[in-house]
Amino acid sequence: MILFNQQQTDKRSQPAPHQLSHPHNHFLRLIPLGGIGNVTKNMYVYEYRRSSGGEISDILIVDCGIGFPDEAMYGIDLVIPDITYLRDKKDKIRAIILTHGHEDHIAALPYILPDLKVPVYGTRLTAALAEVKLRDFGLQNHINTADTSQILHFGPFSVEFVHVTHSIPDATNLIIRTPVGIFYHGSDYKFDWTPIDGQQTEVGKIARVSSEGILCLLSDCVRVESPGYTLPERIIEDTLEEELRKCRGKFIFTTQSSNISRIQQAINVAVRNNRKIAFLGRSIVENVDVTKKLHYLEFPDIFVVQERELKRYKPSDLFLIVTGSQAQPNAALSRIADGSHKFVSINPGDTVIFSADPIPGYENAVHGLIDELTARGAKVAYSDIMDALHVSGHGAANDLALMIGLTRPKFILPIGGTIRQMRRYADMAKEMGYKDNQILLPGEGDVLEFDSMGNVRKGENIDLKNVMVDGLGVGDVGNVVIRDRQTMANEGIVVVVVPVEQSTGQVTAEPDIISRGFVYMKESTRLIDGAKKVVTNSLRLKKGRIFDWQFVRKQIEGRLEEFLYKETHRRPLIISVVVEV
């Protein structure tokens, strides 16, 4: 394999002197705890060891994001990375570095930071949004602020931020220098040459580090299947302007609450057309407040009204920016659609604009919300019928190829995409001249071990599970609970109640059968009577006083499952309950 030239180009970019030494027995282990094979839940561990299999010296973590539940995860609110591997290594973790302020990169911090208790770094807006997330959970952790002119040192690691264009300001990629070589961590980006905030991608910085020799490029790959370049953000503003001029009622705009650039464009259109702006939904209100204080959002306060004041204005005077682009049940837009919002209702003549594509798994919910709004008389516009309403923050195939060309890495690792997207990215890299052994396609939890000779091998796999968050419960809902929820949702539930004399342990009466979501009991008398006989026969097998009720319950449930499947070809969740009387 080809070794890279490690010469430095200027003093400002040089890591500390001890980082220039590259002894042959040093190893960097890269461990994805999320963001491999899925678009969200981004978390990557850079682990430095002085020998293969030797003691861990230092750990650096990049990003700490949530994932979103799929349709089979009934009742689950979100998914977070499994940090079991890190729990006995807390003293080795030097920092968590955040690349940008989207939820799939920062929103797991409230669940994970109290456990790991390590310093966190991000650019100014990213740090502010992360602190908002922490405060929502009553946490007062300070997020350290860095800018793109700094180089941060963490033991054997040095980290330099590269400003990139994305769908949120202050988005960055990372240059991570290690004793075995340079890693370019290219999380979400595109090459937008006319960005809303006027800050273009730091192409010169990328080219400079490329001249030093990049060992591995980790690159966003989620839009590799889309040809060409991703369209610039600015085209959305013209589309909003056109739709607003046709609107005779309220104009309601929804996007993801962290999509600050998109919100700025909506504000620009509202102000130009002399409409009063109201921000509805907690996350929108919080994010607008913090970003305006930091001057990432600019607008005259005179245009803003509070939601309790909305009734004072004609519908044609209002421009509402609301949460709920993913049809979240308690978001402002969902409450407006179902008529439960205190201050806003939908009327004919109103226009609702969705400026966000559904997250995978949320498509049905979003389309259902669109139907509900349409039924109430609103004109609803969304990207399926109007392309220019949503522009991705992720680079398409040409953007991704340009990043490969700029960085010229020895190895390439696609991240932040599905398996099919990772494979397509690999095909694109091969079309650009990369060999199979230069393209790394690990699974989540697979360890990649780089040595100081410029080689890489696949190490062990760390067993990872989905850590599911349900209400206030974190990790207490596992596969067994999910399986039971799936069974109840698909097949229903049957409860068997057996009354027992407390003093004698004898069954005192006929068991009771309760069905929910399985059959309608009033119309299934024969089936319910048959089920009671099965339970009664199971109980008759026990003579005298019954002590081992756990065994009896299993026997009842097993025999009843066989009977119900034979009669209905359904397998409801069966629960037997002993009631002492």
Q: Whole-angstrom Cα distance, residue 467 to residue 12? A: 41
Determine phi and psi for 371, rounding to 5 degrees: -60, -40
CATH number at residue 212: 3.60.15.10
Instruction: Assess if residue 525 is contained within a domain.
Output: yes
User: Same structural domain for residues 130 and 211?
Assistant: yes
> Residue 443: which of 426, 457, 422, 424 has the closest Cα?
422
> Residue 45: which of 520, 405, 442, 404 has the closest Cα?
442
CATH number at residue 249: 3.40.50.10710
User: Same structural domain for residues 46 and 174?
Assistant: yes
Q: Which of 332, 356, 385 is the last residue of a domain?
A: 385
Amino acid at 135: R
Amino acid at 72: A
Instruction: Assess if residue 1 is contained within a domain.
Output: no
From the candidates 188, 341, 394, 446, which is the catalytic residue? 394
Q: How many CA atoms lie within 13 A of 460 on its CB side?
A: 6
Q: Whole-angstrom Cα distance, residue 232 to residue 235? A: 6
Q: Whole-angstrom Cα distance, residue 195 to residue 166? A: 9
Which conformational region is residue 242 in: left (phi greater than 0), alpha (psi within -120 to 50 degrees), or beta? alpha
Q: Whole-angstrom Cα distance, residue 209 to residue 240? A: 40
Angle at 102 between CA 97 and CA 107, to 5 degrees: 70
- Taking CA atoms, 494 is separated from 30, 508, 569, in Å, by 48, 21, 14
Q: Could you tell me if 124 and 294 are in contact, meaning their C-beta atoms sit under 8 angstroms apart?
A: yes
Burial class (CB in 10 A: 0-12, 13-18, 19+), 119: middle
Q: In what order do the strands lie in the sheet with 78-80?
A: 78-80, 467-470, 473-477
User: Same structural domain for residues 203 and 99?
Assistant: yes
User: Same structural domain for residues 508 and 465?
Assistant: no
Residues in the chain with pLDDT values less than 70: 1-25, 69-77, 360-361, 468, 470-491, 501-508, 519-521, 540-549, 580-581
- Crossing angle of helices 260-272 and 282-293, in 10° steps, is 90
Q: Could you tell me if 356 and 390 are in contact, meaning their C-beta atoms sit under 8 angstroms apart?
A: yes
User: Same structural domain for residues 215 and 161?
Assistant: yes
The answer to whether residue 105 is catalytic is: no
Instruction: Assess if residue 18 is contained within a domain.
Output: no
Instruction: Assess if residue 513 is contained within a domain.
Output: yes
Q: Whole-angstrom Cα distance, residue 373 to residue 350? A: 10
From the candidates 63, 170, 220, 446, which is the catalytic residue? 220
**Four-point Cα dihedral 478, 479, 482, 484, nearest 10:** -110
Rg (CA), the chain: 28
CATH number at residue 530: 3.10.20.580
What 3-state DSSP class applies to 60?
A: strand
User: Same structural domain for residues 82 and 215?
Assistant: yes
What pLDDT score was predicted for residue 547? 54
User: Same structural domain for residues 354 and 421?
Assistant: no
Instruction: Assess if residue 47 is contained within a domain.
Output: yes
User: Same structural domain for residues 76 and 164?
Assistant: yes
Instruction: Assess if residue 2 is contained within a domain.
Output: no
> Residue 379: which of 238, 275, 246 has the closest Cα?
246
Which conformational region is residue 291 in: left (phi greater than 0), alpha (psi within -120 to 50 degrees), or beta? alpha
CA 450 to chain centre: 28
Residue 371's CB: how many other CB atoms inside 10 A?
12
Q: Domain total for the chain?
A: 3
Angle at 88 between CA 183 and CA 126, to 5 degrees: 45
User: Same structural domain for residues 31 and 156?
Assistant: yes
> Residue 171: which of 181, 183, 185, 182 has the closest Cα?
185
User: Same structural domain for residues 377 and 414?
Assistant: no
Instruction: Assess if residue 373 is contained within a domain.
Output: yes
Q: Whole-angstrom Cα distance, residue 574 to residue 483? A: 13
User: Same structural domain for residues 454 and 534?
Assistant: no
Q: Whole-angstrom Cα distance, residue 494 to residue 40? A: 37
What pLDDT score was predicted for residue 135? 92
What pLDDT score was predicted for residue 414? 97
Read off the DSSP letter of residue 249. S
Instruction: Assess if residue 430 is contained within a domain.
Output: yes
- Stated as kind and residue range, the H or E segment containing 337 is helix 332-337
What pLDDT score was predicted for residue 358? 82
Read off the DSSP letter of residue 507. B
Q: Could you tell me if 236 and 261 are in contact, meaning their C-beta atoms sit under 8 angstroms apart?
A: no
Strand partners, 172: 163
Q: Which of 438, 473, 508 is the last residue of a domain?
A: 473
Q: Whole-angstrom Cα distance, residue 546 to residue 535? A: 15
Query: Over the stretch 354-404, which tens digit does the pLDDT of each residue have?
Result: 998 887 667 888 999 999 999 999 999 988 777 778 888 999 999 999 999
Domain that holds residue 278: 235-385
What pLDDT score was predicted for residue 490? 67
Q: Whole-angstrom Cα distance, residue 571 to residue 564? A: 7
The answer to whether residue 394 is catalytic is: yes
User: Same structural domain for residues 216 and 250?
Assistant: no
Q: Which of 366, 385, 404 is the last residue of a domain?
A: 385
